[in-house]
Amino acid sequence: MGHLAPSSTDSGSSGNIIIDFYWGMELYPRIGKYFDIKVFTNCRFGMMSWAVLALTYCIKQYEENGKVADSMLVNTTLMLVYVTKFFWWEAGYWNTMDIAHDRAGFYICWGCLVWVPSVYTSPGMYLVNHPVNLGTQLVLFILVAGIMCIYINYDCDRQSQEFRRTNGKSLVWGKAPSKIEASYTTASGETKRSLLLTSGWWGLARHFHYVPEILAAFFWTVPALFNHFLPYFYVIFLIILLFDRAKRDDDRCRSKYGKYWKLYCDRVPYRIIPGIY
């Protein structure tokens, strides 16, 4: 389709058929007028199967043991809160790298159709046959810490999107935001303007939102305790994915914004973890 009948002008070939297949050619491929392939793979299939599988693991544990352990309940509750947050914020998702920059190739389609449902839910799958009873205090602690992380991650995304939507006029942590007014040139030679937020969560580090994302995953995994490496596979994968993604995004923004990105890096020197990295 990308070669012969692209759905929009946001499409193109790299000149290498393998790279075209792997990274994709089209940014917004559609079948017919209304069936958006990335909305289907990323949201409808990927994120919904995450929720369905999390519940399925609870049911399986009930079938096997006649009850659901509190560790499984914490794990499932946090995953469901996370997926609910995703759908609550879904319109904001259209502005993220997955939708706005990554083309619909094997990488993203296989990732959302296969990797997300199987790997992202794997801590729950592990818990089916390894029920642990944590006790009320620990359950409450993990639950509150996990929900706080999911909320902070949501608030980071909300802050930058509100800031852009209001053209830099939204309040950030109760104050007028500090910002950089950047300009860039598009592939067609047009000069455009954009705003970069440099206060609030976005003043702590350039990709601070990945910290609560990783910690949330840690909190829905830690009910499995530390007897096996397997349930931690997702958290470790996520750390690698997001550290690589932060670098990819920085490189892309540097070539897009040039001196304005340099100014942003001077003002907000850390990439992910304030004071460390």
Q: Would you put residue 183 in left (φ > 0), alpha (ψ -120 to 50) or beta?
A: beta
Nearer to ligand NDP, 132 or 249 (CB): 249
CB of 266 to ligand NDP, least distance (A): 13
CB atoms within 10 A of CB 269: 11
Nearer to ligand NDP, 72 or 238 (CB): 238
CB of 166 to ligand NDP, least distance (A): 12
Nearer to ligand NDP, 62 or 155 (CB): 155
CB of 210 to ligand NDP, least distance (A): 5
Nearer to ligand NDP, 56 or 96 (CB): 96
Q: What are phi and psi of 33, to 5 degrees?
A: -90, -35
Nearer to ligand NDP, 57 or 210 (CB): 210
Q: What does 66-121 look like in DSSP terms, one character per residue?
A: SS--HHHHHHHHHHHHHHHHHHHTHHHHTTSHHHHTS-SSHHHHHIIIIIIIIIIT
CB of 136 to ligand NDP, least distance (A): 29
Q: For 173-178, which contacts have Cβ atoms below 8 Å and span 24 or more sequence positions?
A: 173/199, 173/200, 175/199, 178/203, 178/267
Q: Which residues bind ligand NDP (CB under 6 A)?
A: 96-98, 153, 157, 160, 164, 194, 196-197, 202, 209-210, 213, 238, 241, 245, 249, 253, 256
CB of 269 to ligand NDP, least distance (A): 13
Measured CA to CA, the distance from residue 16 to residue 31 in angstroms comes to 24
Nearer to ligand NDP, 1 or 145 (CB): 145
Nearer to ligand NDP, 132 or 180 (CB): 180
CB of 163 to ligand NDP, least distance (A): 6
Q: By the 8 A CB rule, do 240 and 91 touch?
A: no
Q: Which residues of 167-190 are buried (b: 16+ CB within 10 A; e: fewer)?
A: ebebebeeeebbbbebebeeeeee
Q: Give the residues across from 175 on adjacent strands.
A: 172
CB of 18 to ligand NDP, least distance (A): 24
In angstroms, how far is the first alpha carbon of the chain from the final one?
41
CB of 46 to ligand NDP, least distance (A): 10
Q: Is 164 exposed, middle or buried (0-12, 13-18, 19+ CB in 10 A)?
A: middle
Q: By the 8 A CB rule, do 11 and 51 touch?
A: no
Nearer to ligand NDP, 56 or 194 (CB): 194
User: Which residue's CB comes closest to ligand NDP?
Assistant: 96
